[in-house]
Structure 1
Amino acid sequence: MSADKQSRRIIWAVAIGNGLITYDFTVYSFSAVIIGKLFFPSGSLLVSLLLSLATFGVGFIMRPLGALLIGNLADRKGRKAGLTLSITLMTLGTGIIAFTPSYASIGWAAPLLMVLARLMQGFAAGGEIGVSTAALMELADKGRRCYLTSWRGTGQGLAALAGALIGACTTALLTSEDMQLWGWRIPFILGMLIGPVGWYLRRQMTERPTQATYRPSLKSMFTQHPRALWFGILSMAGPSASAYIMVFYMPTYLVTVLHLPPIFSLLCACLASTVIFLGTPLLGAISDRQPRRKPIQYLLLTGCILLVYPAFLALTHGVGEIASLLIIMGYVALALTNTGPSSVMMLEAFARHHRATGISIIYGLGVATFGGFSPFIVTWLIGVTGNPMAPAWYLLATLCISLFALIRFPDTVHED
């Protein structure tokens, strides 16, 4: 098989696996209200929604463990081994969500199975993102690293778009009764069918040979790269919170807080995903033309800090549907198209034999700490304070943390 054909196969294998994670998170967030009613019944719609969002977030508890174990597996046994394990676990978790009966049918077993599925998916996602990012960067020469690595984010944007479109179609075509009875399961069943395709492609991957004979350990990784690890984790604060609030939580926010139509909220998610899908590889290509990785990230982070408060102020004051779409699209373009340069900057800070583990820990802990529970946190804050501006304050805090971490992140570049 030619090198170009093998490279394309690896890109597809990575994109499909990462896409499955994003797709499942997207359709779960869109179904959060229904899942709350069916699996976490209570006397309060707010409590049911909070329990549903907490279950969405509970998978992130397992991300650091998945990052450690799957990332270290990929550094010891190869990227293929880590990627195959992660997509297998992710597909199984999606299947459990798709076919678990409701609380009315099997009682407490229903929410327990839902939590188990999210834990399984969280473990898989913890290793998936870091290992796949390392695999993509190692395909490219130095002049194309940001562009090629950006395809992980591009695949996630396309998957989020697919999830939003399927959610919009089922919402438009089915009655609310049918959606609650069985329609909400359709997107999960479709997602479960994607998994075997990605598994097959990953099983057919060939690894790039390495000359290293060093067997990496977790202890050596922590002692050799502490600054890259800790400031890398902190740098994930703004992007993680932005992704889970502006893409995954935004449909719920628009419907339950701003009282906009469900179809409009799903359209917003579709357009946000399209911006990520189109903007991520474009920014990656632009970043490859720059001599350093940090300047373009300073520009984007500063723009987000300046925009986030006025954006939510306008949304909460009812600027209209078209203006709301433009505001959200603008913020997403600044906050969520930076996958290429940010990932490459972090990957280059680690030696190759620590690269998959290091980037997995950064993503696993960073997203778990700042992103996964952000929908729950802002929903709770809105419920307690009655202030619909709570997401803006949370995002502003995380963006400032990311800016501080970017300033402190090491400029050391480890070549293969």
Structure 2
Amino acid sequence: MDARPGPHPGATAHPALDRKAVGAVVLGNALEFYDFTVYAFFAKPIGAAFFPAADPTHSLLASLALFGIGYVMRPIGGALIGAFADRAGRKPAMLITIGLMALGMLLLAACPPYAAIGGWAQVIVIAGRLIQGLALGGEVGPSTAYLLEAAAPERRGFVTSWQIASQGCAALFAGIVATILALVVGDQAMNAWGWRLMFVLGLAVVPVGLIIRSHLPETAGVEEDPNAAASTFAVMKRLLREHGRLLGLTFLVISASTVSNAVGTNMPVYAGATLGLSETAATAVPIALGLASVAFPLLGGWLADRVGRRLIMIWPRALIVILAIPAFAWMVKAPGALNVYAITFLLSALSSINAAAVIVGIPEALPRAVRSAGLSIVYAVSVSVFGGTTNYVINWLIAETGDRLAPAYYLAAFSLIGTVAAFLLPETRGRDLDSNREAGEA
């Protein structure tokens, strides 16, 4: 008797994915990275608005701590919304997450400063970051599972890599818009109100994403044992019992990728505060980050479809281990704008190739009935632990030790761990998504 799950009501094996549909699916991830990039760059004025202090460093650190608060909710969102997507379908979960994302961004963009309403400003922005963290924790699992399940088997790597490429598109857009605004209105206006406008621009695309997502076909499967998916607790219990080793290795691999992303998005702050570049020069750093993050994930997905997921997880990450410290040492010795752009581009390109293989290989290794929850939870925990702390930690290390190579040491250490973990993961290219056997296997 065939024990594979049947289709979810309304599900299709490989629904047609046009550009509009792919864009709607990856929009949530794009908004996440847009918010990530904008917040990382404008951490100083956000801190001054909501956490004013006599020492600007304390204000910056408070702002970075606020940035990290949202990550507290990500594992909860990953568990609740990820399991919901496995039970009720990918589409309703994706509609919930993008709506919550918009609410969180709106609270941050519209909140009056501390000078106007005192401590209530801090309460409002903390609430906004918690709501957004809940949404983002549950976004990556359903949207990635949807792309994977909707793509033709021979193109899963390339199609799913758009999840990573969307991050580059968002960072590139953020860098270009911030640079243009800074040139038009000046640094003073950007610090006073320009950063709010950056968040409002991100919100403008939400209605389009909601409309298109609501018309997507469903791809979720139904659980073989209906009682097994009756609760989030049951899903998590099954994941740990049957896939604990895979989830542990995945945690390490995604943690390395998360640290790479955080170091990259911290580059504007590093370029300005540590290397002494001008505000205008530092503002353009996300453009280099975005350019690399648009093209190279697609290259990584294309390669993963041809040579396998595992090799593309290992070698780019290993190259970061080798190059991180020499690259930062070069920037410190010759802290010019072009050097910063070049190193940002190189490290982002390698990390993007690696991430494309990770984002397709991990969910392929999980059964359809727990795919969204598994990826959501492990991704959310990894990003919560390291995405919300890396910027704070590396800036704190620089301040405490005076060593401007601190980000390089941090990046190299995590990349080494990620390389070893990727070596231990299974190869999943050609695997049947329902049976978890190789395609064509009897």
Question: How far, CA to CA, are the matches of 1:8 and 1:139 in structure 2?
Answer: 13
Does residue 191 of the first structure (1) align with residue 202 of the second (2)? Answer: yes
* Residues 156-305 of structure 1 aligned to structure 2 (within 5 Å): 156-208=167-219, 210=221, 212-215=223-226, 216=229, 217-246=235-264, 248-290=265-307, 292-305=308-321
Report the counterpart of residue 232 of structure 2 in structure 1.
Answer: none
Does residue 353 of the first structure (1) align with residue 353 of the second (2)? Answer: no
Report the counterpart of residue 133 of structure 2 in structure 1.
Answer: 122
Distance change in 2, residues 1:72/1:29 (3 Å): same
Cα drift, residue 212 of structure 1: 4.4
Question: How far, CA to CA, are the matches of 2:47 and 2:223 in structure 1?
Answer: 50
Structure 1 unmatched runs, 5+: none
Contact 2:168 2:291 in 1 (8 A): yes
Report the counterpart of residue 408 of structure 2 in structure 1.
Answer: 392
Question: How far, CA to CA, are the matches of 2:339 and 2:39 in structure 1?
Answer: 27
Question: How far, CA to CA, are the matches of 2:342 and 2:94 in structure 1?
Answer: 37
**One-letter code of the match for 1:61?**
V
Secondary structure of 1:119's counterpart equals helix
Contact 1:161 1:269 in 2 (8 A): yes
Contact 1:83 1:132 in 2 (8 A): yes
Report the counterpart of residue 337 of structure 1 in structure 2.
Answer: 353
| 1:311-333 C-alpha deviation (Å, 9 max, x unpaired) | 11011112533233222211111
Contact 1:89 1:121 in 2 (8 A): yes
Question: How far, CA to CA, are the matches of 2:162 and 2:335 in structure 1?
Answer: 34
Question: How far, CA to CA, are the matches of 1:184 and 1:340 in structure 2?
Answer: 30
Does residue 20 of the first structure (1) align with residue 31 of the second (2)? Answer: yes
Aligned length: 413
Secondary structure of 1:221's counterpart equals helix
* Residues 55-204 of structure 1 aligned to structure 2 (within 5 Å): 55-204=66-215
Contact 2:51 2:63 in 1 (8 A): yes
Cα drift, residue 202 of structure 1: 1.2
| 1:291-345 C-alpha deviation (Å, 9 max, x unpaired) | x321122211111000000011011112533233222211111112333321121
| 1:218-239 C-alpha deviation (Å, 9 max, x unpaired) | 2212211111111111111221
Report the counterpart of residue 46 of structure 1 in structure 2.
Answer: 57
Identity over the aligned pairs, expressed in percent? Answer: 35
Cα drift, residue 5 of structure 1: 4.9
Secondary structure of 1:206's counterpart equals coil
Structure 2 unmatched runs, 5+: 1-11, 230-234, 435-442
**One-letter code of the match for 1:352?**
R
**Over the residues paired in the alignment, what is the CA RMSD in angstroms?**
1.8
How does the TM-score come out when normalised to structure 1?
Answer: 0.95
Distance change in 2, residues 1:100/1:72 (3 Å): same
Cα drift, residue 135 of structure 1: 0.6
Q: 368, 373, 380: which is aligned to 2:396?
A: 380
Cα drift, residue 7 of structure 1: 4.7
**One-letter code of the match for 2:275?**
L
Distance change in 2, residues 1:209/1:365 (3 Å): closer
| 1:326-385 C-alpha deviation (Å, 9 max, x unpaired) | 222111111123333211211121111010001111210111122221000111111111
Secondary structure of 1:207's counterpart equals coil
Contact 1:30 1:167 in 2 (8 A): no
Cα drift, residue 408 of structure 1: 2.6
Question: How far, CA to CA, are the matches of 1:221 and 1:9 in structure 2?
Answer: 33
Secondary structure of 1:226's counterpart equals helix
